[in-house]
Amino acid sequence: MAADTVDVAVIGAGPAGLAAATQAARAGLSVVLLDEQEAVGGQIYRAIERSDAQRRTILGADYVAGAALASEFARSGARYAPNASVWQVTRERTVHYLKDGKVSSFEARRVVLATGALERPFPIPGWTLPGVMTAGAAQILLKSAGEVPAEPAILVGCGPLLYLLGWQYVRAGVPIRALVDTTRHEDRWRAKRHMLSALRAWPYLSKGLQLMRTLREAGVPMHEAADDLRVESGIDEDGSERARALNFSVRGVSHRIEANVILLHQGVVPNTQFTLSLRASHKWDDAQLCFAPVTDQWGELDVPGIFVAGDGSGIGGAQAAETQGKVTALAIAAQLGVIDTAARNRSAAPLLRRLADVMRIRPFLDSLYRPRDENRVPKDEVIVCRCEEVTAGELRSFVKLGCLGPNQAKSFGRCGMGPCQGRLCGLTVTEVIADARSVPPETIGYYRIRPPIKPLTLGELAGE
């Protein structure tokens, strides 16, 4: 593939990337789809092509819907590079990637970044202990490996993915120790303001209500409006420290529930590593509490020829992502002259209407499942940067010494300088510093992200 020029490079094989690649290839463009995983689907449709009947039954119809997308992509004529870690996209649209220990690069006339979402950091005491994982991680174990907690797990936090995982465990006959919900009662009231708009996305809303009903009918112990979360550690048979219990309060009453698997979730946020590394403009989204790249209605950044589709441009979910992928491909087909503007507009109109429809649920979800301040801006003793073990208290002491933002926090104490490159602490660092300095997160900004986006050995780099 080296030294090639392709019409369109798509990065990420989730719903947005699959839809964009399929639509662009059907329009007659040469397309390469690169993805870090060994098979298409992204995280939402992970392992969709090889999941058996049992797994599909457990995971439900919304998951199985991904199979059609995968088979349309397979027939589209687009080239597919699995196990390919893209580590740099330049503003001139050179795509650098690592595959099978070798680095290669090629030029693309247009680039679609479809790198989706990451789970929002959930910094609470004990969140670094073995046995504490994200709900998304547990769902990936179910989708890709048919694995479930060996003993009943605790599901903690808020947001659709947490309840969906619970529903899937119930369908798999896997007992759940407890669902500890952090949604505040005042947020339930606040969310009602958006109910009218949410009702227009009724299929989604009704699915959510069914999930909750299934969990209640299955007798999953539910604790609502939980705060003061703390994972307690224990010592393993082999002498190693691990999670042993979750401590929390409900209206001032303390609770302690034992479990060796504790699954955290408080929503997902755009994965902005590429868009930040491209120095594209980003805006702080006060409803979704995250940074999102600024794009036009076709998904194009203020870096010409580079587009974002799917959750990477703001959280909308799988259906929105698929629709955005198609819209982006139409815009690219028009820019590259394989369709005219009138044809683009004609094909895009129903897609843009559909996008507006599926996004109607978002204001309701964003306000209902707004993660609590204390779970985003944690107490002093809580580790914020997992890689370099920097606590919120240390971060606040950097601010007292004159640290103004995330980039300076690196030189004050290596915060954000470990292998995850800030993926697991970036938003927390922004919000902790914003809180300590009493200025808005928008003013504080985010880490400056530089390539390589994925760690690369010098040996691999020298091989290009």
Q: What is the binding site for another protein (CB under 8 A)?
A: 36-38, 43, 52-55, 57-58, 118-119, 128-134, 136-138, 140-141, 144-151, 172, 236-238, 240-242, 260-261, 271, 386-389, 418-420, 423-424, 452, 455-459, 462
C-beta of 112 vs 387, nearer to another protein:
387
Q: How far is the CB of 398 from another protein (least distance, A)?
A: 16
Q: How far is the CB of 50 from another protein (least distance, A)?
A: 8
DSSP state, residue 448: P
Alpha-carbon gap, residue 136 to 149, rounded angstroms: 13
Q: What one-letter code names the amino acid at 280? A: A
C-beta of 372 vs 423, nearer to another protein:
423
Q: How far is the CB of 105 from another protein (least distance, A)?
A: 17
C-beta of 93 vs 423, nearer to another protein:
423
**262: β partners:** 132, 154
C-beta of 150 vs 342, nearer to another protein:
150
Strand runs (DSSP E) across 236-274, as ranges?
241-250, 253-258, 262-266, 268-270
**86: β partners:** 97
Alpha-carbon gap, residue 184 to 205, rounded angstroms: 19
Q: How far is the CB of 456 from another protein (least distance, A)?
A: 6
Q: How far is the CB of 241 from another protein (least distance, A)?
A: 5
Q: How far is CA 401 from the centre of its chain?
A: 33
C-beta of 304 vs 463, nearer to another protein:
463
Q: How far is the CB of 54 from another protein (least distance, A)?
A: 4
The answer for residues whose C-beta is within 8 angstroms of residue 347's C-beta and 6 or more apart is: 330, 339
Q: How far is the CB of 101 from another protein (least distance, A)?
A: 9
C-beta of 129 vs 205, nearer to another protein:
129
Alpha-carbon gap, residue 266 to 136, rounded angstroms: 10
Q: How far is the CB of 378 from another protein (least distance, A)?
A: 16
DSSP for 396-421, written as a single string: HHHHHTT--SHHHHHHHH-TT-STTT
Alpha-carbon gap, residue 188 to 258, rounded angstroms: 28
C-beta of 133 vs 320, nearer to another protein:
133
Q: How far is the CB of 248 from another protein (least distance, A)?
A: 20
In the chain, what is the straight-line distance between the N-terminal and C-terminal CA atoms, in Å?
A: 13
Q: How far is the CB of 148 from another protein (least distance, A)?
A: 6
C-beta of 64 vs 287, nearer to another protein:
64
DSSP state, residue 316: -
Angle (deg, nearest 10), helices 160-171 and 135-145: 40
Alpha-carbon gap, residue 149 to 176, rounded angstroms: 9
Alpha-carbon gap, residue 141 to 131, rounded angstroms: 14
Angle (deg, nearest 10), helices 406-413 and 426-437: 100
Answer for the pair 427, 121: CB distance below 8 angstroms, yes or no. Answer: yes
C-beta of 336 vs 420, nearer to another protein:
420
Q: How far is the CB of 9 from another protein (least distance, A)?
A: 19
Three-class DSSP category at 353: helix
Alpha-carbon gap, residue 349 to 112, rounded angstroms: 20
C-beta of 16 vs 58, nearer to another protein:
58
- CA atoms within a 13 Å half-sphere pointing along the CA-CB vector of 230: 13
Quickly count: other Cβ atoms within 10 Å of residue 102's Cβ: 11
C-beta of 43 vs 430, nearer to another protein:
43
